[in-house]
């Protein structure tokens, strides 16, 4: 089982996002071991994970390291152990640290520094059943000295957050993001929407639990480990304190995950209503009798090329795309020529994300490149197009992107046509892309727009009936 699968299983099993930190202070390794065992025995029923701090054991020499190994072995089976060691080295040194953490000590995950780059993480990531938590935005007072430096319009910690999913090819990378800066935590969550975060700083360091959960939880109510060490270890009754923290986290999490569902539904309705108005105003949607590429006659015609003549509407469309794209992990956007290029450019400006695009035809001069724009092989690309029709043009573009070493998993369109006849449908494109290993996402579907136009009286009942009948054939 992969580490984060194990972690999610444990979280669900005991309804907990509490990580109990083991930071014993003593010069005697036996005392360190016994203190940690006592905390483990008292809190195991409420902990999602344990996090022993290697430093206090290392300070006691060989006997201390033996004690650390015994402490990790004392954790009940099924509870993940994260070794807090903050390793950062390369090549054989990093491989040796990985062997020490995973094979000698028996930890399931480890904290690491990204300062030396991805190759420093590679030995730790080679095992899919193990994981790393990469230092991203830490909770110490001096964290901003380097982590908040602006690099290319972003803070350095945000760049780390954007890189982390790229390192996580085997889904075994998480991030360390301190609870002492909820604003930074929220920015990291936007940059890495799917990753697990380890959040130290609640309790003794002054981090606010409510603000931390609001900023760091994933939409599924998971993805965030709240670490507590001294507040539990120094409590008169560590078991009672761990239970209290576990229950407080669960109560806030439940409240936060219930409210956004209703808010998301309202936001989706607002987006559909706004797009419905804008698409009619810009004449991107027209009603009448139109011959489609397939030869069919359609009572509705979609042409998003018209957006270029309506800059304010194009900006709002880009915002709608950005809301959908914020749920995905990617390094760069890729627009498909020609209709999607101005749309993708507007999205890139809206999200401050880099853009590339595959050419329709190769140049026979200059660089002769099939892909325009800067990129690095191995980066994750999300393809942007205007509509979902058959999917053929998307596959053609994806093949060109993959030919230069870029990775594609997701395609995002503004409108999924929904059900419509003989190949003129988003469902056909969705199935076609899925069979090829890609996921199609849409901001809105044509049936949803149609219902909105009917509700607002923007189209005549006869037009609604005619289009509805056409789409249901």
Catalytic residues: 86
Query: Alpha-carbon torsion 76, 81, 83, 88, what sign?
Result: positive
Which phi and psi angles does 75 have, rounded to 5°? Answer: -65, 130
Distance (Å, whole) CA 427 – CA 270: 24
Cis ω before 338 (30° cut-off from 0): yes
Q: Confirm if 133 and 109 have CB atoms less than 8 A apart.
A: yes
For residue 387, the SS3 value is: strand
**Distance from C-alpha of 253 to C-alpha of 258, rounded to nearest angstrom:** 8
Residues 376 and 319 sit within 8 Å (Cβ to Cβ):
no
The DSSP 8-state label assigned to residue 68 in this structure reads H
Question: Cα–Cα distance between 83 and 365 in angstroms, integer?
Answer: 55
DSSP secondary structure string for all residues of 203-264: STT-B-HHHHHHHH--TTS-SEEEEESHHHHTSSSHHHHHHHHHHHHHHHHHHHHHHHHHHH
């Amino acid at each position: 089982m992969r580490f984060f699968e194990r972690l999610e299983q444990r979280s669900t099993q005991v309804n907990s996002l509490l990580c109990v930190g083991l930071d014993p202070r003593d010069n005697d390794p036996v005392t360190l071991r016994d203190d940690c065992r006592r905390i483990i025995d008292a809190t195991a029923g409420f902990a999602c994970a344990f996090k022993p701090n290697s430093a206090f054991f290392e300070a006691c020499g060989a006997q201390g390291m033996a004690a650390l190994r015994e402490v990790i072995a004392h954790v009940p089976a099924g509870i993940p152990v994260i070794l807090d060691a903050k390793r950062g080295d390369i090549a054989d040194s990093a491989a040796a640290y990985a062997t020490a953490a995973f094979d000698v000590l028996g930890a399931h995950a480890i904290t690491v520094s990204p300062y030396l780059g991805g190759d420093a993480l590679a030995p730790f990531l080679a095992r899919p059943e193990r994981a790393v938590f990469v230092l991203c935005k830490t909770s110490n007072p001096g964290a901003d000295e380097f982590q908040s430096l602006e690099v290319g319009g972003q803070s350095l910690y945000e760049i780390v957050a954007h890189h982390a999913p790229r390192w996580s090819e085997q889904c075994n990378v998480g991030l360390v993001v301190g609870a002492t800066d909820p604003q930074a935590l929220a920015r990291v969550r936007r940059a890495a929407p799917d990753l697990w975060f380890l959040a130290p700083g609640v309790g003794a360091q002054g981090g606010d639990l409510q603000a931390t959960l609001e900023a760091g939880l994933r939409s599924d109510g998971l993805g965030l480990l709240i670490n507590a060490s001294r507040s539990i270890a120094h409590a008169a009754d560590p078991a009672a304190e761990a239970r209290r923290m576990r229950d407080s986290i669960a109560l806030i999490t439940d409240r936060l995950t219930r409210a956004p569902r209703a808010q998301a539904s309202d936001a989706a309705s607002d987006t559909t209503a706004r797009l419905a108005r804008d698409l009619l105003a810009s004449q991107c949607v027209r009603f009448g009798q139109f011959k489609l590429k397939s030869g069919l006659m359609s009572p509705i015609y979609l042409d998003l090329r018209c957006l270029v003549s309506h800059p304010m509407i194009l900006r709002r469309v880009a915002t709608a795309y950005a809301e959908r794209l914020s749920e995905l992990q990617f390094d760069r956007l890729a627009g498909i020529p020609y209709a999607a290029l101005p749309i993708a450019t507007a999205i890139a400006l809206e999200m401050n994300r880099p853009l590339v695009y595959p050419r329709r035809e190769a140049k026979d001069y200059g660089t002769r490149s099939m892909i325009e724009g800067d990129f690095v092989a191995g980066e994750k690309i999300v393809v942007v197009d205007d509509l979902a029709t058959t999917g053929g043009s998307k596959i053609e573009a994806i093949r060109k992107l993959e030919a230069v070493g870029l990775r594609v998993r997701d395609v995002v369109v503004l409108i999924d046509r929904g059900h419509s006849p003989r190949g003129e449908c988003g469902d056909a494109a969705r199935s076609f892309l899925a069979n090829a290993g890609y996921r199609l996402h849409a901001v809105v579907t044509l049936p949803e727009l149609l219902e909105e136009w009917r509700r607002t009286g923007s189209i005549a009942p006869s037009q609604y009936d005619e289009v509805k009948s056409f789409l249901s054939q």
